[in-house]
């Protein structure tokens, strides 16, 4: 099937003629005799194109066109009209119809029009999905400028266009699936990105999920189903937590990767597949191979290119870049006017160990945005385990509160630390700090003035002492 077409015409012979002509060209065609019946069917079934006569009993084709476009603007409407009623067809075009054809209909000409309408609808759908993904930031977005992440980004760019199997390793929560999506997005593959967590699916069902099954293969197999290997045709299949896979399943995966074919459960024939395989684990697979818990031959089959993700605690100021990224996204989704991180909050984020890595940081920021009472996140908005941790080493600790530094001093030190971390990039520093660049420049000028004042004061004091001593 190359498209689904709904024909609305009160002439049964015309409906049968169009259904036969388009059906022989690979379209799935259904018809109804009135506008109301056509609309009712359109509510239940997704059609690419509606082909309607302008003259119908009851509501006209023009009214049907207007009602379809009001409810389902993504559906392309093509109207049929007699030669003497072209004004009506022009009215339908003005109402939003995609095109019109003149009766008596040439089936070849109609097929060309339907093909163009089908392609137009699919292109609009793809553009809409892409726009939604960009707006919701579902496209892989690897935030961070640390040396470790620059190395990851470089490796992703180098391996994306190849078909080599990739093994992504790293602690839980470091973003292994995000990196797999980034590889897929940069690969140019037109097929889908499909993912499955091998640890979350029982072994008895995992084989069916991956390889598919025939009807009646087991109790609940009422219909045949393709597995993920075949469904990912032309795209990428991501097998997460592959280290948790049972030995028997490991052998079947190995054969599928070697032969590039899979046999559905209960089936007698094998189906070829063309999907890039990316795997991930938080286990030490080499140790598992030594302990005979993971097949050595499968390990070498999936480990053609290994990409190790660093834990968040090893990524330095990436913590603040990620926090600001999540802050903007969460605030935008929830409609909250929260735009920055307080300096004390930033110090806590930098000094925390983040055992849950990026996933824990995202949850932390989402919570903070939900609880925030001001336009920036404060300490009260952080989870207690982060808020109550000890201050980082650079901040002085004193038993007497009077000896503690002022907030201005802490902020100045923090600004200097961020600037050092981004190697003097003021645009990036302002983004991390939650300032606009003008505010950052003003604070830097103030800090410079204070430093010069302090230096002048010290020089004047020394001069006074010399004069007094002489």
Do 306 and 173 fall into the same domain? yes
Closest CA to 53 of 40, 63, 43: 63
Segments forming the whole domain that contains residue 446: 314-451
Residue 294 near residue 155 (C-beta atoms within 8 A): no
According to DSSP, the β-strands at 261-262 and 271-272 are antiparallel
For the ranges 69-73, 171-175, 444-448, 455-459, the lowest mean pLDDT is seen at: 455-459
- Confidence band, pLDDT 50/70/90 cuts, at residue 458: very low
Residue 156 and residue 161: Cα distance in Å, rounded? 9
* Structural tokens at position 371: 């609880």
Looking at residues 290-311, what average pLDDT do you find? 94
Do 62 and 99 fall into the same domain? yes
* Structural tokens at position 267: 């089936």
Residue 84: pLDDT above 80? no
Looking at residues 157-186, what average pLDDT do you find? 92
469 domain-assigned:
no
Q: How far is CA 160 from CA 65, 67, 164, 235, 267, in A?
A: 45, 46, 9, 12, 34
- Confidence band, pLDDT 50/70/90 cuts, at residue 87: confident
459 domain-assigned:
no
Supply the pLDDT for residue 417.
76
Closest CA to 422 of 316, 274, 350: 316
CATH number, domain containing residue 390: 1.10.8.60
457 domain-assigned:
no
CA angle 309, 311, 312 (to 5 degrees): 120
Residue with more model confidence, 34 or 219: 34
Residue 89 and residue 95: Cα distance in Å, rounded? 10
Of the residues 272, 293, 310, which one is the last residue of a structural domain? 310
Closest CA to 53 of 90, 107, 112, 103: 103
314 upstream amide cis, omega within 30 of 0? no
- Confidence band, pLDDT 50/70/90 cuts, at residue 392: very low
Residues 6 or more apart from 130 whose CB is under 8 A from it?
none
Buried b or exposed e, range 259-269, using 16+ CB within 10 angstroms: eeebbbbeeee
Closest CA to 311 of 192, 171, 143, 447: 171
Tens of pLDDT, residue by residue over 127-165, are: 566 455 444 433 345 788 788 888 898 899 899 888 899
10 alpha-carbon distance from chain centroid: 46
Tens of pLDDT, residue by residue over 345-373, are: 888 888 888 999 999 999 999 999 999 88
Tens of pLDDT, residue by residue over 250-268, are: 999 999 999 999 988 887 8
465 domain-assigned:
no
* Structural tokens at position 467: 């004069």
Supply the pLDDT for residue 324.
87
Tens of pLDDT, residue by residue over 105-119, are: 889 889 999 998 998
Residue 327 near residue 391 (C-beta atoms within 8 A): no
Residue with more model confidence, 364 or 58: 364
- Confidence band, pLDDT 50/70/90 cuts, at residue 402: low
Residue with more model confidence, 36 or 434: 36
19 domain-assigned:
yes
Residue 22: pLDDT above 60? yes
Q: What percent of the chain has pLDDT over 90?
A: 35
Beta bridge partners of 305: 166
Residue 306 and residue 279: Cα distance in Å, rounded? 10
Residue 328 near residue 376 (C-beta atoms within 8 A): no
Do 286 and 320 fall into the same domain? no
Q: At 357, give phi and psi (nearest 5°).
A: 60, -145
462 domain-assigned:
no
Of the residues 310, 342, 364, which one is the last residue of a structural domain? 310
Do 130 and 171 fall into the same domain? no
Do 159 and 278 fall into the same domain? yes
Buried b or exposed e, range 388-426, using 16+ CB within 10 angstroms: eeeeeeebeeeeeeeeeeeeeebbbbbbebbbebbeeeb
Supply the pLDDT for residue 465.
37
Q: What DSSP string runs through 103-117?
A: ESPPHHHHHHHHHHH
Q: What total number of domains does the chain contain?
A: 3
323 domain-assigned:
yes
Residue 363 and residue 366: Cα distance in Å, rounded? 5
Do 258 and 384 fall into the same domain? no
Of the residues 310, 332, 352, which one is the last residue of a structural domain? 310
257 domain-assigned:
yes
Q: What percent of the chain has pLDDT over 70?
A: 85
Highest mean pLDDT among 58-72, 284-298, 307-321, 455-469: 284-298
Do 88 and 172 fall into the same domain? no
CA angle 430, 359, 325 (to 5 degrees): 20
CATH number, domain containing residue 39: 3.40.50.2300
Residue 422 and residue 411: Cα distance in Å, rounded? 17
Closest CA to 8 of 85, 67, 78, 66: 78
Residue 43 and residue 39: Cα distance in Å, rounded? 6
Do 152 and 286 fall into the same domain? yes
Residue 392 and residue 409: Cα distance in Å, rounded? 15
Tens of pLDDT, residue by residue over 366-391, are: 999 999 888 888 899 999 999 887 65
Do 118 and 155 fall into the same domain? no
Do 288 and 156 fall into the same domain? yes
Do 218 and 344 fall into the same domain? no
Do 101 and 219 fall into the same domain? no
Supply the pLDDT for residue 291.
93
């Amino acid at each position: 099937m190359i498209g689904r077409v709904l024909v609305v015409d009160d002439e049964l012979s015309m409906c049968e003629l169009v259904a036969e002509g388009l059906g022989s060209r690979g379209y799935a065609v259904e018809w109804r005799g009135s506008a109301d019946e056509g609309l009712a069917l359109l509510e239940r079934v997704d059609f690419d194109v509606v082909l309607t006569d302008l003259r119908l009993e009851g509501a006209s084709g023009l009214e049907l066109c207007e009602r379809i476009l009001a409810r389902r603007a993504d559906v392309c409407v093509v109207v049929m009209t007699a030669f003497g009623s072209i004004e009506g067809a022009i009215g339908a075009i003005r109402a939003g119809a995609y095109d019109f054809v003149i009766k008596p209909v040439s089936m070849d000409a109609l097929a060309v029009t339907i093909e163009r309408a089908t392609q137009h609808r699919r292109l609009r759908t793809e553009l809409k999905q892409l726009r939604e993904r960009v707006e919701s930031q579902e496209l892989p977005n690897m935030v961070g400028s640390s040396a470790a992440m620059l190395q990851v980004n470089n490796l992703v760019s180098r391996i994306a266009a190849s078909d080599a199997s990739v093994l992504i390793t790293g602690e839980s929560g470091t973003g292994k699936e995000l990196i797999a999506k980034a590889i897929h997005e940069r690969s140019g593959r037109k097929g889908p990105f499909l993912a499955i967590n091998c640890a979350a699916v029982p072994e008895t069902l995992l084989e069916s999920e991956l390889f598919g099954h025939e009807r009646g293969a087991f109790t609940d197999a009422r219909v045949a189903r393709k597995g993920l290997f075949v469904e990912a045709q032309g795209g990428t299949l991501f097998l997460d937590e592959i280290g948790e896979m049972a030995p028997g399943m490991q052998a079947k995966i190995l054969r599928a990767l070697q032969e590039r074919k899979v046999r559905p459960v209960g089936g007698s024939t094998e189906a070829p597949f063309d999907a890039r395989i990316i795997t991930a684990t938080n286990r030490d697979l080499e140790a598992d191979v030594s302990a005979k818990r993971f097949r050595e031959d499968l390990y070498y089959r999936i480990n053609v290119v290994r990409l190790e993700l660093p834990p968040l605690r090893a990524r330095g100021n990436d913590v603040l870049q990620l926090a600001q990224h999540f802050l903007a996204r969460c605030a935008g989704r929830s409609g909250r006017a929260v735009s920055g991180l307080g300096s004390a909050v930033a110090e806590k984020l930098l000094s925390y160990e983040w055992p849950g890595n990026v996933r824990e940081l995202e949850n932390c920021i989402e919570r903070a945005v939900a609880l925030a009472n001001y336009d920036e996140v404060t300490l009260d908005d952080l989870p207690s385990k982060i808020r109550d941790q000890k201050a980082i080493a650079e901040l002085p600790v004193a038993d007497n509160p009077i000896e503690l530094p002022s907030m201005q001093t802490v902020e100045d030190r923090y600004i200097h630390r961020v600037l050092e971390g981004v190697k003097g990039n003021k645009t990036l520093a302002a983004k991390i700090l939650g300032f606009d660049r003008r505010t950052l420049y003003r604070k830097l000028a103030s800090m410079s003035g204070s430093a010069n004042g302090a230096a002048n004061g010290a020089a004047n004091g020394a001069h006074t002492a010399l004069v007094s001593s002489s």
